[in-house]
Amino acid sequence: MHYHTIIVGAGPAGLFAAQALGQHRKSVLVLERNKRAGRKLLVSGAGQCNFTHDGPIEHFLECYHNQAKFIKKALFSFTNKDTMRFFESLDVPYQVFPNQKVFPKSMKSEDVLGALLKACQKGNVQIEYGQTVGQISIYDGVYTIETEEGKRYFSDHVVIATGGKSYAPLGSDGKGYEIAQSLGHTIITPRPALTDVRLRENPYKPISGVSVQNAELTLWRQNKKLTQYVGDLLFTHKGISGPVIINTSRWMEVGDQLTINYLYPKTYEEVRKEFSESLAQRGKEEVITFLKPLKLPKTLLQVLCQQIGLDEHTSCAQVNKKMREDLVNILTRCPFTIHQLGGYHIAMVTAGGVHLKEVNPTTMESRKQKGLYFIGEVLDIDGITGGYNIQAAFSTAYLCAQHLIKC
């Protein structure tokens, strides 16, 4: 059979595009290598699926690093509110958390996947499981799609929705990049993103599980400041994690330096001035008591004192200038060296992918091959945590489908 459109990959991007085309009576086939659809979607948000973020859509533009220009049209054409309405219309009510993350009310990712599959079924979308697309060729305007299992399919249009490279056992292993390359596309070197930082010797191991709200991270490479970000920090048994680390990990390399200001929004200078004025006046008060109003976890303060060789029970009057400087430094410029970054097996998304210059941002069509499209994570798009990646999958899929409906 010859299809109007063949979609490679039954993740959120592929399924969303498929159901939209199905509603418009296009003959659509989805080829999925796994025995079932949306395996990554099922584990997303710890199985609860944080499928978008609330708030003004304009704020989304700050959440995709330097890819905002490309994704703007898609996000504004199918917004976070549209996503919420879409699932509501499919009997999946949602709830918005105080941090504006949006989840299905049931807190079950199966409900999100179930709704997408139901919408596909309604549009008579055909899904073939257990078919790993290996090669795609075009001759005389007709695409031939060959699978590693030995099957061949034909279509007028092909949508690559194969995802990134992280969590490969769930289905996305980077095969989509190879296919894109074979069809003339450039791939921005993929790397793990939304991952944690491992330390060589982890002095913070005893406080793993402790977190700090609104810490300010500065990333340095060879003494050059690369980026700065504010968010919650979590100490782990292997190093440091939490949104502030995870969301900046795409910029990090092994050997880079991080400095953390636990007292943000106060600056080093402000804390230095404050301590030089107040510490000596506290007389017999112990340092640990003096630090209490900072509202940092006591166990963290204890480890920080140990790190600079300051006995937490030292009286404030005994803290000399050097010790005071060390204390201010460790509280506002606490240094870390990246020994290792969490690999693809724990990275939630992949940075890099199909070069955005080679894809039309208003249709998701390849600028190299007519009739070829890229949607979702296979593109060189990665968002921060909070529902931005699944929203990007839906928004890019929507634009692509709107264009294909007219073809």
Interface contacts to ligand FAD, rule CB under 6 A: 8-14, 31-34, 39-41, 43-45, 50, 132-133, 161-163, 166-167, 171-172, 175-176, 348-349, 376-377, 387-390, 393
DSSP 8-state symbol, 106: T
Q: How far is the CB of 48 from ligand FAD (least distance, A)?
A: 7
Q: Which is nearer to ligand FAD, 21 or 260 (CB)?
A: 21
Q: How far is the CB of 280 from ligand FAD (least distance, A)?
A: 49
d(CA 103, CA 109): 8
Q: How far is the CB of 325 from ligand FAD (least distance, A)?
A: 42
Q: Which is nearer to ligand FAD, 279 or 390 (CB)?
A: 390
Asked if residue 34 lies in contact with residue 128, where contact means CB atoms within 8 angstroms, the answer is no
DSSP states along 156-183: EEEEE----SSSGGGS-SSHHHHHHHHT
Asked if residue 235 lies in contact with residue 211, where contact means CB atoms within 8 angstroms, the answer is yes
What are residue 30's phi and psi, to 5 degrees? -110, 130
Q: How far is the CB of 86 from ligand FAD (least distance, A)?
A: 15
Q: How far is the CB of 323 from ligand FAD (least distance, A)?
A: 43
Neighbours of 183 (CB within 10 A): 19
Q: Which is nearer to ligand FAD, 327 or 364 (CB)?
A: 364
Q: Which is nearer to ligand FAD, 45 or 239 (CB)?
A: 45
Where do we find the tokens 């982890």? 202
Q: Which pairing describes strands 187-193 and 349-354: parallel, antiparallel, or unpaired?
A: antiparallel
d(CA 32, CA 160): 11
Rg from Cα positions in the chain: 25
Q: How far is the CB of 303 from ligand FAD (least distance, A)?
A: 29
Asked if residue 11 lies in contact with residue 116, where contact means CB atoms within 8 angstroms, the answer is no
Q: How far is the CB of 103 from ligand FAD (least distance, A)?
A: 8
Q: Which is nearer to ligand FAD, 5 or 202 (CB)?
A: 5
Q: How far is the CB of 32 from ligand FAD (least distance, A)?
A: 5
Question: From residue 285, how far is each of 275, 290, 292 by CA, in Å?
Answer: 14, 7, 11
Asked if residue 307 lies in contact with residue 235, where contact means CB atoms within 8 angstroms, the answer is no
Where do we find the tokens 């799609």? 145
Reply yes or no: is the peptide bond before residue 265 cis, omega within 30 of 0: yes
Q: How far is the CB of 124 from ligand FAD (least distance, A)?
A: 20
Q: Which pairing describes strands 133-139 and 224-235: parallel, antiparallel, or unpaired?
A: unpaired
258-275 burial code (b ≥16 CB/10 A, e <16): bbbbbbbebeeeebbeeb
Give the residue from 162, 199, 147, 134 showing the smallest Cα distance to 338.
Answer: 199
DSSP 8-state symbol, 314: S
d(CA 312, CA 327): 11
Q: How far is the CB of 193 from ligand FAD (least distance, A)?
A: 10
The two structure tokens encoding residue 383: 């968002």
Q: Which is nearer to ligand FAD, 154 or 320 (CB)?
A: 154
Q: Which is nearer to ligand FAD, 43 or 96 (CB)?
A: 43
